[in-house]
Amino acid sequence: MHPLSTQSRVPAIFRLLAFAGFIGMAGHASTQPASAPTDKRWFVTGSLLYVAPDRPPLANAWLLVNGDKIEAVGTGTPPVAGSAGAKACNGGVIAAGFQNSHVHFTDDSFANAATRTPGELEQSLTRMLTRFGYTTVVDTGSQLANTSALRQRIASGAVLGPEILTAGSPLYPHNGIPFYLRQLPPAVLRQLAQPASAEEAISTVLRNFADGANGTKLFVAAPMGQGEIRRMNPQIASAAADETHRLGGLVMAHPTDPEGVRSAVAAGADIIVHTTIDPAGSSWDAQLIAGMVARKVSVVPTLKLWRYELDKEHVPAEVREKIVGLAERQLKAYIDAGGQVLFGTDVGYMTDFDPADEYSLMAQAGMTPMQILASLTTGPAARWRKQARRGRLEAGMAADLVVLNGDPAADVKRFADVKCTFGAGRLLFQREGF
């Protein structure tokens, strides 16, 4: 039997994502971020600078920041006598700030975000996000009021952290709470949206946006036990998607299986937030992939997640790699067809925050280093209609940048080897010892 069959054991990821926002996880100690540059106008130098994934890197480069914007980029000696923003950040490989398109603020360390001290929140943000270069993140499931409070404190400057986009709590099929959540307290279960009509779905979306959501998460398929999967009514899913689009947001879908991917695409989903490894032999056929690409549906692969789950189930390594290979083949077929990939790791659910293996798995699936860089920068910026503001290192763009200790074109794991992270011109993270 397939180790992740819905007839036997459902991955913990599905259990958590179905309940995102109501389950917290233990935190871990981390280093607090360094202070921001004191001068409004400062520069950082690099051995290489990637303006964008589709342009060759600049050697012996510099980047001049003025406030929260990039003023100029060039090579050789910086044209100003201004101070370096953080001298310890000089000499690395500079790229635009990264976006992690699949995170969760469900860790206990983010609870009570409105009143927690800045230091506590910054420590948690550093541990999970900014030490890996993330200057923008997409929360695909959490308690909306708490995440909105965290976002507001970051936006106000009270807390150093990444820009946050959030979907809040997901929508589920009518009477479609997965079987593994039935033991939860009734008061909690009542908070999980299970619209019975298009009108209810629209009302839920409107309420979420009024409370600060930037998009909608649709749980399009729910395992009910004994092999049954309850699927969201197509009219309800389409109504939620249409209302989200009317409000200017994006629709994210948790697919569960290839049929879930198909129904999400038909409903108007913009982003599929996982590849799939269930049922046994799971695959995305050419017709499905062609439809996804034609409708400009993006994919967040989360390949490392499958190893993480299979290891918890004590699946033998050789079996695990065959199963993960299914997801890799989905990704390869999708990118070969011209699909847009958005980088994401599902941290906040995964307590292993290091993304190095995700980069390796994406490369193993056939992505080039520059395609991976695009999935971190220009791709998500365009997907969220922010390409005029971020994703590239050019004059007038937001001063969101990451300094790496080596060139990821030579080794994709270098994407995770972060020396410094700047968001809106402020130093969010500086690795000790450099």
Domains in the chain, start-ordered, CATH in brackets? Answer: 12-30+98-390 (3.20.20.140), 31-97+391-434 (2.30.40.10)
CB of 93 within 8 A of CB of 416? no
Tell me what pLDDT residue 179 has.
73
- Rounded to 5 degrees, φ, ψ at 296 are 55, 45
Tell me what pLDDT residue 240 has.
98
Tell me what pLDDT residue 35 has.
45
Tell me what pLDDT residue 85 has.
58
Q: Angle formed by the axes of helices 303-312 and 356-364, to 10°? A: 110
Residue 139's nearest CA partner among 241, 21, 57 is 21
Reported residue count of the chain is 434
Q: Which token pair is 324?
A: 């993960």
Tell me what pLDDT residue 18 has.
39
Name 45's Cβ contacts closer than 8 Å, sequence gap at least 6: 61, 62, 63, 78, 84, 90, 91
Per-residue pLDDT of the chain (434 residues; tens, 9 = 90+): 333 433 333 343 333 333 333 333 333 333 434 444 556 889 999 999 999 999 999 999 999 999 999 999 999 988 876 566 578 899 999 999 999 999 999 899 999 999 999 999 999 999 999 999 999 999 998 989 999 999 999 999 999 999 999 999 899 999 988 776 677 678 778 888 999 999 999 999 999 999 999 999 999 987 777 778 899 999 999 999 999 999 999 999 999 899 999 999 999 999 999 999 888 778 899 999 999 999 999 999 999 999 998 998 899 999 999 999 999 999 999 999 999 999 999 999 999 999 999 999 999 999 999 999 999 999 999 999 999 999 999 999 999 999 999 999 999 999 999 999 999 999 999 998 54
- Neighbouring C-beta atoms of residue 157, cutoff 10 Å: 11
